[in-house]
A and B are shown apart, each in its own frame.
Chain A
Amino acid sequence: MIEVVNLTKKFKKVNAVDQVNFYIEPGEIVGLLGPNGAGKSTTITMLSTLIPPTEGDVFLNQKSIIKNPVSLRKILGVVPQEIALYGELTARENLKFFGNIHKMPKKKLEERIEIVLEQIGLQNESKKKVKHYSGGMKRRLNIGVALLHEPKYLIMDEPTVGIDPQSRNHILETVKRLNEEFHTAIIYTSHYMEEVEYIAKRIYIMDKGKIIASGTKDEIKSILSSENTILIKLEQPSKEFVHALLQEPMLSNVNVNEKEISFTVAKDVNFLPTLMTLSKNSGVRLKSFQVEEPSLEDVFLHLTGRALRN
């Protein structure tokens, strides 16, 4: 098990990471969710032993890895947010190089290269220079390099940034398969809540360097269990109607997107008659009315007052 205890990183006077605590058991997937600049990358860079923390420690099976980073590095794979590959080399050459510096025996390395190429779906493109790859293919190879030495723990930092939906699905399925078939424990950081929601069993939500919520999906969503999220669609936008909604004390988290408006309201309140009155007074016709399950996005909004992808 990896435990992160009171991890803190200060850059000059700014606390990029502030007293962060979390853990990951062997074989589980943990999501680290937060907007850009939340401190996720700094946290996992410290966790990867690449920069020392200002305070706190990271323990692998109760032994500090700050003092002994090699013990973790042996069993750790890291997929950085950047494409950490050589564009001038082919996929196979990249894999061979990184396998060699991991001191993998030649025969074993050859076998692993074939397996990894199959896992990331690049068997037929392995002799092409990486600089000629699409963004999605580069991302897949970026993951493949981290898998080469069969790590027990895999840290993935925003592995789907800037790629098409098809490649994104491929990556998410690969991550799931790795966990299910090889029991690789994965720390998956993202600001895409639907990705984290889809693959992670437990989730930590970070904002401004701190963990602001943690638990399973249901546990986190239960923060909003006393509220319903309502989505209404109007026939035409109306400033008067929006103004009336914002003045209504029963509502919170009002979000307006032209003709679509969402808000949260306590479960035990029957808001429908009030809504009808407001729409009538504003001269607006409601096209639809929908009660939605709260999402992680709603939880984040509830906790910080800001949207995840702002």
Chain B
Amino acid sequence: MFLSLIRKQITILLRSPSEMLILLFMPIVLITILSFALGALWEGENEVSKVELAIVQQDDEIQQLDQFLHEAKGSMNITSDMEKNLQQLLPISILLQQIEGNEEMKQFIHLTELQPEKLEDAKESGEYSAILEVPKDFTFNFLSSIYLQGEKPTFNVYLNESEKITSTIVQSILDYYQQQYSLVSSLAQNGVPMNMDALPKMEIASDTRTVDSQTEITSSTYYTFSMTVMFILYIASTLASQAFVEKYFHIFDRVLLARIHPLTYLLSIMTATIILAIVQVGLLFTFAHFVFHISFTQWELFVVMTLLLSIVVGGLAALLSSINYRTNSGEASNVFSNAFVSVFALVGGSYFNISSLSPWLAELGMWTPNGAALNGYLKIYQNATLMEIMPNIIHLAILAVLFTVLAVVLFPKRGGIV
């Protein structure tokens, strides 16, 4: 009986060419057009904008220097001159001085010092062209590597891969800094000026990563996800309209007279929507895979995200149906498909990356089904872990529960004329 309700909903939709056109053909066309039309813009920035560089220090240079001096005293002779030299050689202080003390560089680079707890937020926000993370014990390891043949120091650089030119600038600065630092440290070590070519290369390794950890996002990738999460919303309004037609023509009365509980009927709308949403996502991703060679390596996480998004859309279909039934008109689903989907698409980043316009809007977009899912899909595509997409999962789960509860509360428990 329940299966019959679902099968009927799906059959009716599949036999409606205009609906199929909107739900499947339109997103395919838009993905294709937007991928090619905006592809050039996505290949990299055409203009060099100011480099937003953030530095996160887990390290306390002075404390680390003291620790090094304390430990080094046992194995080498440290004079007071050498101690003074070492104070001038603190690596991060030199880097900051190099950037902030150079007028030309200040024109191109804006440096922000961040507290360690802000690192994750900064990575997610996409506000920075690069983030330099100086780990704990960096200064100590650095000094040890020079004087005591100790462990090689490493700091992490997170580059925003969507800003290729500015990222390259940061990389060049770091290379230059590396060379400069090697020179200075060698001079300090030996107390005499030396030819730079003859200097030993300073052993600072920088582990460079992209902000979200990694796979490059192309226009076709972005629009595959953004159009999919946008067009999935139309399934909700379509099924809700379909449900209202059943009330309008008293088919719902027949369903009730067949002793089907109203909430069973509502649940059938929700389930049919979930199935159709999963199929739609599956078809669009398959298209993108074969046409744009988009790979879905973390397929388990894609499945989780798709399932959650589909449940939210199912809840939305149920909610719109309830409002339609309650107001005895199909306006709720019409207004949703004609206005709300566009607003959700804008705020959720389906047209363009909204965070470049306003971080506040981007945050708001995370509370739209499409925004939360788009962000989640992009993260998974860039090899995020389950924990990293947990905020997206939580947002979607909250939306699913909210829509479903509202739908159940609002749905009338009898049929008939009003």
Interface residues of A (CB under 8 A from B): 41-42, 45, 48-52, 70, 73-74, 76, 78, 80-86, 88-89, 93, 97-98, 100-103, 129, 145, 149
Chain B count of residues within 8 A CB distance of the other chain = 24
Minimal Cβ-Cβ distance residue in B for A93: B11
Can you list 8 pairs linking A and B with CB atoms under 8 Å apart?
A45-B417, A51-B415, A52-B414, A73-B256, A78-B257, A89-B12, A89-B15, A145-B254
Q: At the interface, yes or no: B290 with Cβ under 8 Å from chain A?
A: no
**CA gap between A283 and B5 in the complex, in Å:** 72
Q: Is there an interface contact between B260 and A101, defined as CB atoms closer than 8 Å?
A: yes
Q: A45-B416, A50-B414, A50-B415 are in contact. Are A84 and B253 (CB under 8 A)?
A: yes
**Identity of the chain B residue whose Cβ is nearest the Cβ of A157 in the assembled complex:** B250
Whether the pair B12, A78 counts as a contact (CB closer than 8 A) is no
In the complex, the answer to whether B257 meets A41 with C-beta atoms within 8 Å is: no
Give the contacting residue for B250; candidates A70, A84, A103; CB below 8 A.
A84
Are B249 and A83 in touch, CB under 8 angstroms?
yes
How far apart are the CA atoms of A48 and B4 in the complex, in Å? 23
B258 proximal to A (CB < 8 A):
yes
Inter-chain contact B4/A101, CB cutoff 8 Å:
yes
**B16 CB within 8 Å of chain A:** yes
In contact, B12 and A50 (Cβ under 8 angstroms): no
Q: How many A-B residue pairs have CB under 8 A?
A: 78
Query: What is the bound-complex CA distance between A78 and B417, given in angstroms?
Result: 14
A76 adjacent to B251 (CB under 8 Å): no
**In chain A, what residue has the closest Cβ to B253?**
A50
Q: How far is the CA of A254 from the CA of B265 in the complex (A)?
A: 54
Residue from A50, A93, A145 having most chain B Cβ neighbours under 10 A: A50
B253 and A97 within 8 A (CB): no
Contact B254 A82 (CB under 8 A): no
11 more A-B residue pairs beyond the given contacts A50-B253, A50-B417, A52-B414, with a C-beta to C-beta distance below 8 A: A80-B254, A84-B250, A85-B251, A86-B8, A86-B12, A86-B251, A88-B15, A89-B11, A101-B1, A101-B258, A149-B258
How far, in whole Å, are A175 and B340 apart by their CA atoms in the complex? Answer: 49
Does the CB pair A89–B414 fall under 8 Å? no
Closest 3 CB pairs of A and B: A50-B416, A51-B416, A100-B4
Q: What separation, in Å, do the CA atoms of A45 and B15 have in the docked complex?
A: 32
Pair B15/A80 contact, Cβ less than 8 Å: no
Contact B259 A73 (CB under 8 A): yes
A-chain residues with CB within 8 Å of residue B4 when the two chains form the complex: 97, 100-101
Contact of B258 among A52, A82, A93, A98 (CB under 8 A): A98
Interface of A is mostly: loop
Residues of A within 8 A of B1 (CB): 100-101, 103
Distance (whole angstroms) from the CB of B330 to the closest CB of chain A: 15
Which residues between 251 and 305 of chain B lie within 8 Å of chain A, taking CB atoms? 251, 253-260
Chain B residues with CB below 8 A from A42, complex form: 417
Give the distance in Å from the alpha carbon of A54 to the alpha carbon of B301 in the complex.
Answer: 54
Q: Which residues of A contact B249 (CB under 8 A)?
A: 82-85
CB distance from B244 to the nearest CB of A (A): 13
Contact residue among B16, B251, B414 (Cβ-Cβ distance under 8 Å from A88): B16
Q: Which of B11, B250, B257 has the most CB of A within 10 A?
A: B257
Task: Give the CA-CA distance A298 to B221 in the complex, in Å.
Answer: 76
Alpha-carbon distance A76/B256, docked complex (angstroms): 12
Q: How far is A255 from B254 in the complex, measured between Cα atoms in Å?
A: 42
Pairwise interchain contact A78-B253, C-beta atoms closer than 8 A: yes
Which chain B positions have C-beta within 8 A of A98? 254, 258
Q: Which residue of B lies closest to A45 (CB)?
A: B416
Tell me if B251 and A84 are in contact (CB < 8 A). yes
Known contacts A82-B250, A97-B4, A101-B4; A50/B259 CB under 8 A: no
- Which residues on the B side are within 8 Å of A48 (C-beta)? 253, 257, 416
A70/B8 in contact, CB under 8 A: no
Cα-based distance from A208 to B259 in the complex (angstroms): 32
User: Once bound together, how far apart are the Cα atoms of A103 and B255, in whole Å?
Assistant: 11
Give B350 Cβ to nearest chain A Cβ, in Å: 30
B5 to A, closest residue via Cβ: A101
Q: Distance (Å) between the CB of B54 and the closest chain A CB?
A: 57
CB B14 to nearest CB in A, in angstroms, measures 9
A48 to B254, CA, bound (A): 10
CB-defined contacts of B257 to chain A, threshold 8 Å: 48-50, 73, 76, 78
Shortest Cβ distance from residue B239 to the other chain A in the assembled complex, whole angstroms:
14
Q: Which residues of A contact B260 (CB under 8 A)?
A: 101
CA distance A83 to B248 in the complex (A): 10
Looking at B16, B254, B414, which has the most chain A CB atoms within 10 Å of its CB? Answer: B254
Nearest neighbor of A148 in chain B, beta-carbon distance: B258
**Inside 8 A of B8's CB, which chain A residues have their CB?**
86, 89, 97
Q: Which of B12, B251, B415 has the most CB of A within 10 A?
A: B251
Closest Cβ of chain A to B343, distance in Å, is 31
Chain A residues with CB below 8 A from B12, complex form: 86, 88-89
Q: Could you tell me the distance between the alpha carbons of A299 and B310 in the complex, rounded to whole angstroms?
A: 61
Q: A83 to B253, alpha carbons, bound, how many Å?
A: 12
CB distance from A269 to the nearest CB of B (A): 47
CA distance A100 to B1 in the complex (A): 6
B325 → A minimal CB distance (Å) = 13
Q: Beyond A82-B250, A100-B1, A101-B5, is A74–B259 a contact (Cβ under 8 Å)? A: yes
Q: Judge whether B258 and A102 touch: CB under 8 Å.
A: yes
CB neighbours of A52 from chain B (8 A): 414
Contact partners of A80 in chain B: CB under 8 A:
250, 253-254
> When chains A and B are docked, how far (Å) is the Cα of A103 from the Cα of B251?
17
Q: How far is the CB of B253 from chain A (nearest CB, A)?
A: 5
A93 to B10, CA, bound (A): 13
* Complexed CA–CA distance, A149 and B5 (Å): 18
B15 CB to nearest chain A CB (Å) = 4
**Chain B positions within 8 Å of A102 at CB level:** 258-259
**Which residues on the A side are within 8 Å of B11 (C-beta)?**
88-89, 93
